[in-house]
Amino acid sequence: MRNILSLAAPFALVATALNTSAQITFEFEDFPVAGDVIERYRDTLITFGPGGGGTGQTWDFSDADPMETIITTVSTPASTPYAAAFASSDLAMTTDGTSFLFFNAGPGTVIATGAAGDFLDDGQLLTVPFAPTLTGHQFPRVYGDHFTDTYALAVDANGAAFGVNMVRLHHRGEVHDTTDAYGEITTPIGTYDALRVRSTEYSTDSIWIRLFSFTPWTFLQAVRDTNTTYSWLAKETKLPVAEMTLDSLGAPASFTYSAIPPALVTHTPVRRDHGAHIGPIPASTQLTVYLEDGQRFRSGEVLAADGRRMATLLLGNTDRCTIDVQDWPTGMYQVRLWPHVDGPAVMIRAIVR
Fold topology of 272-352: Immunoglobulin-like (2.60.40)
Do you find a cis peptide bond into 282, omega within 30 degrees of 0?
A: yes
CATH 2.60.40.3080 intervals, the chain: 272-352
Confidence of residue 119 (pLDDT cuts 50, 70, 90): confident
- Per this entry, what is the length of the chain? 353
What is the average pLDDT value for the chain, to the nearest integer? 87
Distance CA 237, CA 306 (A): 7
Top-confidence residue, 303 or 185? 185
Exposure string for 77-116, b = 16+ CB within 10 A, e = fewer: beebebeebbeebbbbbbbeeebbbbbebeeebbbbbbbb
pTM tops 0.85 = no
| Averaged pLDDT for residues 210-229 | 97
Confidence of residue 282 (pLDDT cuts 50, 70, 90): confident
